[in-house]
Amino acid sequence: MESGLSARDRVGVQDFLLLDNYTSEAAFIENLRRRYKENLIYTYIGSVLVSVNPYRELEIYSKQHMERYRGVNFYEISPHIYALADNSYRAVRTERKDQCILISGESGAGKTEASKKVLQYYTTMCPTRNNTQSIRERLLQSTPVLEAFGNAKTLRNDNSSRFGKYMDVQFDYKGAPIGGHILNYLLEKSRVVHQNHGERNFHIFYQLLESGDGALLKRLGLDRTNPQQYHYLVKGNCPRVSSISDKNSWKVVSKAFTVIGFNEEEVEELLKVVASVLHLGNTQFGEDEYGETHLTTEMPIKYVSEVSYIPVLSLTHKKIVAKGEEMIGPLSLEQAVSARDALAKAIYGRTFTWLVQKINQSLAFQVKCSSVIGLLDIYGFEVFQNNSFEQFCINYCNEKLQQLFIELTLKSEQEEYEAEGIGWETVEYFNNKIICDLVEEKFKGIIAILDEECLRPGDACDLTFLEKLEDRLGGHAHFVTHKLANGKIRKAVGREEFRLLHYAGEVNYNINGFLDKNNDLLYRNLKEVIMMMIVRRQSNFRFTLLSCGQAATQFKLSLAKLMDILMSKQPSYIRCIKPNDAKQPGRFEEVLVRHQVKYLGLMENLRVRRAGFAYRRSFEAFLQRYKPLCPDTWPNWQGKLSDGVSTLVKHLDYKAEEYKLGRSKIFIRFPKTLFLTEDALELKKPTIGEREKRLIMIQSWWRGVKGRRRAKRRRQAADTIRNLIKGFILRNEPRCPDNEYFLDHVRFSFLMTIKRNLPKSVLDRTWPRPPPSLTEVTHPHTTYTHIHVLTLERSQSSLEQKVVASGIFRGQKDNYPQSVPRLFVGTRLENEEINLKVRQTLGTDNKYGVVVTKYDRHGFRARPRQLLLMGSGVILVQESKIKQRIDYSSLLGISVSSLSDGFFILHVPPADSKQKGDLVLQCDHVIEAVTKLAVMADKIHSVNISQDSIKFAIARGKEGVIDFTYGAELRVVKTKNGHLAVVRIIQSHTKPINHLDKILSL
């Protein structure tokens, strides 16, 4: 337990809550750095996981690692993403409460990798249903397809996701993953037509050109020889460095398409869109002598119309309505270029949405979904030199997530305090609702004002938008512009910028492009063009219906929906940090990390979690660890756990303000208190004596044994219940392996009922009603027989002994069926048959007597004897002489053969000097005698039934053997090799005679 605590000097603290100086950003970063240097990339803030991108493959993601984290508590083992994944999964299983895992961090910090690791954990570790193997595959394979269309190489990340993704993994009641659902946010469509220097377009363009089959490329009018000829691919001036990885990726993507269930036609339709975008990009315009815009390129246009069904005229002309009449009017050169780009973005964006829908169809679950774990992989707070509409949306999103985080964290803290009966202490925190309102409030917020400006007729533009913001929001504590500010701040905000004071810090947004981007600039006629494309496509490929509303508002609405989804779940958080911009392992740049710690709000996270108590543990765990520190609790505390903890902390001199005892947990306010206790434990360890150490070892070993036994019992119980249920369903079917357990159980229970409710007299004809599977027992003519039989055999234990005999001999010994219809009687020897002298010696302790034949151990001479079962041992009597006495406690076991002979051997300890070796006996009532002996000596499980021969001990370590064989008649002879040979007649199995027999012989 708490291995990280004892190793804390070497690698900092594994939970930031234990940082002594928890308000110090420097201490926080130093802890991250120290751990990162040791390749310890994960650290907790309570239940939040902070992850620092290692930029190298670490050997910590194997199946063995997954196993190690299964079912383990957070603090028991070094921090890991699997611990978090497992924790959420366990909550889903045990509490049936939906979970979500929110992953944030800036581009390249490791969000997508983290979400893949979580998904891998679930698809590897969760139980399977027969038909869910393919769902696992599809869940995993949805990633490469979405990445091909939604990821791109950027300066920050070679595989940067250019969209936000929320994915539900759905589980059935057994915890098997059975489906999924994806929601996508804000695809960065501008990348389709423009990339920054050193960046690329979406992967799929390069993958198709590098690896698409020749005939396919020909059909799409594409040429692989020179990808640089496509204008939309050369904007970023990015050298074609990754052609090999594109080729490999294409293989993965093609396979993934098949797994997800795309047919060839659908894949080709998708690729047609990719080709159309490339052709559109190569469509050039010029002006003729009348200043009218026309197309200067022939080839791409051919493909634009043939592959994409785009009417060529729509690229240079638009519909206008003048004086109530629709007319076609020309576009200016500039308008044509921007309309072309808008069309390319719109086509690609809608295709992406279609792709997500198609994947969702493939992941839709077929069986009842019981609970859900959602995974959110979305951009973290973004602050660049120049921040535009996209950063505005992203940061607004993070503002909302922060609000959710604070609300849920405080809520769960409060709930825990309440559950533990500890008074809630107000936590000071920055409530960012004021900023969320500033952005999203109806009619008043920035988004409302932006929409208003977009829809307003007249000369609306980005600058008029800025003026309106200043007008309406001037004076708001979190909003500043150049004009509104004064002094220093004025200098820091440009004339075309507005500044928001986010929870994580200030960000200046440049208003250029806000209106266009919000309008998602698509001329009316272009929308119609897209509609036409939909209609003219023959296949089932569909674009989604045209969106209505402005981009920011749409985003706001989808975010609100997302918040509802997340609010209904229990959240866990993964905060990803990028240690350097060069994508290099081992490099930890403090300035960069500090920036992220700030924008991820980690110090605020820590402050909120630490506002109350730094450490909390269940009484049991606390006492278990620290009990050696107090004489009263060592080595074991016998009383109530809370009293034990109380005694322990009093002995340790904890001050009242340092801790509180809840109902099941101790809360410790300062890490220092805990560290002192830990240090005391370290000091104590060497002085714990050998005996105590052994005791600890034995205790922990015993805990393990008990745990395993508990687990085994649980498994057995589950099996039994399963067998009973299966048997119950098949109870009316003929006896078969699936219902025999159930039927036997019913028979046994019924028999016990009979035993408890035996009729009082022969005339009493009442009979307990048997279960349907035993209806034969009520047969009128047998009823009386039963009553009669059972009345005679009222002897209290007789029926139980019959059941025991059945357990020992049924199916094992040939003459067992014969014994079934015969009664077990109280004794086979009346008192008078036993010599008076013997009776006088033994007193009245005799429980059962029977005539037996004893065979000498050496010559195998047969001698008549009486066998008496007494309260504490078995006696062999020859007339008036007591020949041998074996205490039950020293009886090792009883052996019989599997045949129908009456031999039985009593084994005694060879070293027992009073004994002359094992006793070889023969009896006509072997089943009865052995059963009674086994019951009285408590040796039911020590009856050994041998197939061919039985070895027995003769005095002084010698050994005798009895061989059993089938034969025409019974013979018992001494053979040449000194064995006793018992030949037994072949038994024809007698049929069961009555129902009791039937019941017992089953």
Given Mg ion, ligand ADP, none, residue 113, with its beta carbon under 5 to 8 Å by kind, binds ligand ADP
Tell me the three state secondary structure of residue 488: helix
Query: Is 108 in the active site?
Result: yes
**Contact between 184 and Mg ion (CB under 5 A)?**
no
Phi, psi dihedrals of residue 58, rounded to the nearest 5°: -100, 150
> The tokens of 486 are what?
């004064």
Q: Which is nearer to Mg ion, 111 or 502 (CB)?
A: 111
**Per-residue interface string for the shown chain with Mg ion, residues 87-126, x marking contact by CB under 5 A:** ------------------------xx--------------
**Contact between 112 and ligand ADP (CB under 6 A)?**
yes
> Are 459 and 468 contacting, i.e. CB atoms less than 8 angstroms apart?
no
> Are 505 and 518 contacting, i.e. CB atoms less than 8 angstroms apart?
no
CB proximity list for 133: less than 8 A, separation 6 or greater: none
Could you identify the residue written with the tokens 């996701």? 161
**Contact between 111 and ligand ADP (CB under 6 A)?**
yes
Given ligand ADP, Mg ion, none, residue 634, with its beta carbon under 5 to 8 Å by kind, binds none
How far apart CA 372 and CA 532 sit, in angstroms, is 39
Query: Is 978 in the active site?
Result: no
**Contact between 55 and ligand ADP (CB under 6 A)?**
yes
> Are 381 and 599 contacting, i.e. CB atoms less than 8 angstroms apart?
yes
Among 602, 192, 184, 190, which residue's Cα sits nearest to residue 381? 602
C-alpha angle with apex 202: 197 to 206, nearest 5 degrees?
95
For ligand ADP, the binding residue among 14, 31, 160, 308 (CB under 6 A) is: 160
How far apart CA 597 and CA 594 sit, in angstroms, is 5
> The tokens of 333 are what?
């050169």
Task: Say which of 43, 88, 157, 316 is annotated catalytic.
Answer: 157
Provide, rounded to whole angstroms, the least separation between the CB of residue 382 and Mg ion: 13
**Contact between 107 and ligand ADP (CB under 6 A)?**
yes
Query: Is 445 in the active site?
Result: no
Helices and strands of the chain, counted as H and E runs: 36, 31
Query: Is 835 in the active site?
Result: no
For ligand ADP, the binding residue among 14, 43, 47, 53 (CB under 6 A) is: 53
What's the Cα-to-Cα distance from 40 to each of 10, 31, 36, 118, rounded to whole Å? 11, 11, 5, 18
Q: Which residues are annotated as a binding site for ATP?
A: 105-112
**Contact between 4 and ligand ADP (CB under 6 A)?**
no
Provide, rounded to whole angstroms, the least separation between the CB of residue 105 and ligand ADP: 5
CB proximity list for 45: less than 8 A, separation 6 or greater: 15, 16, 17, 602, 605, 606, 609
For ligand ADP, the binding residue among 4, 12, 79, 110 (CB under 6 A) is: 110
Query: Is 157 in the active site?
Result: yes
Query: Is 3 in the active site?
Result: no
Strand partners, 943: 894
> Are 931 and 938 contacting, i.e. CB atoms less than 8 angstroms apart?
no
Query: Is 539 in the active site?
Result: no
**Contact between 905 and ligand ADP (CB under 6 A)?**
no
Task: Say which of 47, 160, 398, 1001 is annotated catalytic.
Answer: 160
Tell me the three state secondary structure of residue 326: strand
Given Mg ion, ligand ADP, none, residue 890, with its beta carbon under 5 to 8 Å by kind, binds none
**Contact between 308 and Mg ion (CB under 5 A)?**
no
**Contact between 161 and Mg ion (CB under 5 A)?**
yes
**Contact between 108 and ligand ADP (CB under 6 A)?**
yes
**Contact between 109 and ligand ADP (CB under 6 A)?**
yes
Task: Say which of 113, 199, 382, 399 is annotated catalytic.
Answer: 382
Provide, rounded to whole angstroms, the least separation between the CB of residue 576 and ligand ADP: 5
**Contact between 161 and ligand ADP (CB under 6 A)?**
yes
How far apart CA 191 and CA 204 sit, in angstroms, is 13
Q: Which is nearer to Mg ion, 188 or 453 (CB)?
A: 188
Task: Say which of 112, 293, 308, 900 is annotated catalytic.
Answer: 112
How far apart CA 784 and CA 161 sit, in angstroms, is 84
Kindly determine how many residues on this chain lie close enough to bind Mg ion according to the rule CB under 5 A: 3
Q: Which is nearer to ligand ADP, 144 or 221 (CB)?
A: 144
CB 263: neighbour CB atoms within 10 A? 12
Provide, rounded to whole angstroms, the least separation between the CB of residue 603 and Mg ion: 24
Site for ligand ADP in 829-858 (CB under 6 A): none
Tell me the three state secondary structure of residue 437: helix
Could you identify the residue written with the tokens 């300035």? 591
How far apart CA 235 and CA 225 sit, in angstroms, is 18
Task: Say which of 12, 108, 212, 662 is annotated catalytic.
Answer: 108
User: Residue 877 is inside which H or E element, if any?
Assistant: strand 873-878
**Contact between 365 and ligand ADP (CB under 6 A)?**
no
Query: Is 107 in the active site?
Result: yes
For ligand ADP, the binding residue among 54, 494, 628, 821 (CB under 6 A) is: 54
CB 125: neighbour CB atoms within 10 A? 17
Task: Say which of 78, 104, 143, 161 is annotated catalytic.
Answer: 161
Interface residues toward ligand ADP, by CB under 6 A: 53-55, 57-58, 105, 107-113, 157, 159-161, 576
The residues that are catalytic are 107-108, 112, 157, 160-161, 380, 382
Interface residues toward Mg ion, by CB under 5 A: 111-112, 161
